[in-house]
Amino acid sequence: MLRRVALPTLLLSLGCFALASLASAYVVQKGDTLYRIAARESVTVDELKRLNNLSSESLSVGQNLKLPSEAAKVVKLSGLEVEAPSVVRQGEAFSVRLRGARAAEARVRFLSETSEDVRSPAEDLAPFGAGGEYAVLGRVVLGQTKPLVYEVRLGSERITGSVPVKNTLGRVQNLNLPSSTTELLQDPGRAAEDALVEKAYARRTPQAWTKPFAFGNAIKVISSGFGQPRRYNKDAKITYHYGVDFPGKVGTPVLAINDGTVVIAGTYPVRGGLVVVDHGLGVVSLYFHQSKLAVKIGQKVTRGQKLGEIGTTGFSSGPHLHLEVRVRGEATDPADWFGKLLP
Ligand SMILES: [Zn+2]
């Protein structure tokens, strides 16, 4: 049974204030070009491209860009060069890059994850890539404040590095839920829904994408910022906004942000009309609240392919797309992915 509740409208409007506080990475504005940003920051366009793993010079509004103050640190082992970020922020998706003749043999773990509330902590990661250029994907859990610690092993050699975590998420919103909403969140169907999504998070398939991630052009305005901390009732645990909300008319096409395989396509009590695409390497994208679905489980989809249509099904009261990009189950800022082959 689907119920509509008033809360998300409130969240949508409060979310607008959150955007301004996500300023640790530069957020691309209307009219920005790489040339203008580079000139303003006194760097070259090539430096900005390299720092941000950009494969072209086109930018999209709302995309996150790193500036040179956040340039990566490089550490060397025999036959291997390791490039890790010098600073990360909560909810950030990032890559640790490995170069050199022996890069493919290296293994990477994020040791700090063992002390955090995180899915698949300190998983042993084999780098992906080719031709001496490899990478592993990292994620900073929302709520994490301690430095991120990574470990790189190559044969008998082992190095660790520590990266400070910035909190750019803004103040906690205190929200009191109406009893109708509390009921929805206790819906017996919810546990089954959550278990299904957890299964999708646990998938580890080969990299399915070869082009940069891209958000379709149909919806341009972001109404609710990623990562906003929320406390739903007094003294309750803090939760976060695990995705980004894009308002749009019911029926507006919802497009895949990159190639992959559909692993969930159905309608559920909380997420409503839901499509989940597995892009490989533990990266999945989730598209909530759709009115109609255009794909089936098991179907291969390509970047820009229609997955369904915007709606307001599930835990939603206004038509919008809630988009999440998860890395090994943890929510990362979708804006870190747009326009890039890797975050
Ligand atoms: Zn949302």
320, β-bridge pairs: 247, 311
* Dist. CA 7 → ligand 1 center (Å): 11
Report the separation in Å between the CA atom of 244 and the middle of ligand 1, taken as the mean of its atom positions.
5
Mean pLDDT rounded to a whole number for the chain: 86
Instruction: State pLDDT tens for residues 3-57.
Output: 333 333 333 333 333 333 333 478 888 889 999 988 888 888 998 888 888 888 8
Give the tokens for residue 242.
Answer: 């695990």
- All CATH 2.60.40.1930 domain ranges of the chain, comma separated, are 70-166
Interval between CA 247 and ligand 1 midpoint (Å): 10
Taking the CA atoms of the chain, what radius of gyration do you get in angstroms?
Answer: 20
322 Cα–ligand 1 center, Å: 4
Q: Does domain 70-166 have CATH number 2.60.40.1930?
A: yes
Range in 57-61, 266-270, 280-284, 286-290 the model is least confident about: 57-61
pLDDT of residue 47: 86
Give span(s): CATH 2.70.70.10, the chain.
7-19+169-335
Measure 237 CA to ligand 1 centroid, in angstroms. 18
| Cα of 223 from ligand 1 centre, angstroms | 9
Q: What is the pLDDT of residue 55?
A: 81
Range scoring the smallest mean pLDDT among 58-67, 160-169, 275-284: 58-67
CATH 3.10.350.10 boundaries in the chain: 26-65
**CB contact at 8 A, 204 and 329:** no
Q: Could you tell me if residue 100 is left (phi over 0), alpha (psi between -120 and 50 degrees) or otherwise beta?
A: left
pLDDT at residue 4 in the model: 35
pLDDT value, residue 82: 94
Q: Which numeric CATH code is attached to 26-65?
A: 3.10.350.10
Scored b (16 or more CB within 10 A) or e, 127-160 reads bbbeeeebbbbbbbbbbbeeebbbbbbbeeeeee
For residue 2, what pLDDT is reported? Answer: 35
Residue 138 β-bridge partners? 94
Out of 32-36, 98-102, 213-217, 336-340, which region has the weakest mean confidence (pLDDT)? 213-217
Decide which of 136 and 11 is more confident: 136
pLDDT for residue 10 = 34
Give the residue-averaged pLDDT of 274-284. Answer: 98
User: Ligand 1 centroid to 145 CA: how many Å?
Assistant: 23
Six token digits for residue 23: 């300023």
Distance of alpha carbon 185 from the chain centroid: 24
Tokens in use for 273? 């009309």
The predicted-structure confidence for 229-274, as pLDDT tens digits, reads as follows 888 776 678 889 999 998 899 999 999 999 999 999 999 999 999 9
> pLDDT tens digit string along 141-157?
998 889 999 999 999 99
What is the CA angle 281-285-286, rounded to 5?
Answer: 145
Q: How far is CA 41 from CA 1, 34, 36, 44, in A?
A: 53, 10, 9, 9
| Per-residue pLDDT tens over the stretch 71-118 | 777 878 888 999 999 999 999 999 999 999 899 999 999 999 998 889
DSSP conformation letters of 34-92: HHHHHHHHT--HHHHHHHTTBSSS---TT-EE--GGGPPEEEEETTEEEEE-S-EETT-
Residue among 191, 192, 131, 122 at smallest CA distance from 153:
122
Give the three-class secondary structure for 199. helix
Calculate the CA dihedral of residues 313, 319, 325, 329 and round it to 10 degrees. Answer: -30
- C-alpha span between 49 and 84 (Å, rounded): 16
Write the pLDDT tens digit of every residue in 185-200.
777 888 999 999 999 9
What percentage of the chain exceeds 70 in pLDDT?
89
Determine the distance separating the centroid of ligand 1 and the alpha carbon of 323, expressed in angstroms: 7
> What letters, b where the CB count within 10 A reaches 16 and e where it falls short, cover 245-272?
bbbbeeebbbbbbbbbbbbbbebbbbbb
Q: Does domain 7-19+169-335 have CATH number 1.10.274.30?
A: no
Q: What's the rounded Cα separation, in Å, for the pair 52 and 54?
A: 5
Pairing of strands 88-89, 165-166: parallel
- Residue 15 is predicted with a pLDDT of 34
How many Cβ atoms from other residues are within 10 Å of residue 221's Cβ? 12
Residue 289 CB neighbours (<10 A):
27
Ligand 1 midpoint to CA 66 (Å): 24
Query: Using 50, 70 and 90 to split pLDDT, how confident is the model at 221?
Result: low
- Partner residues linked to 296 by β-bridges: none
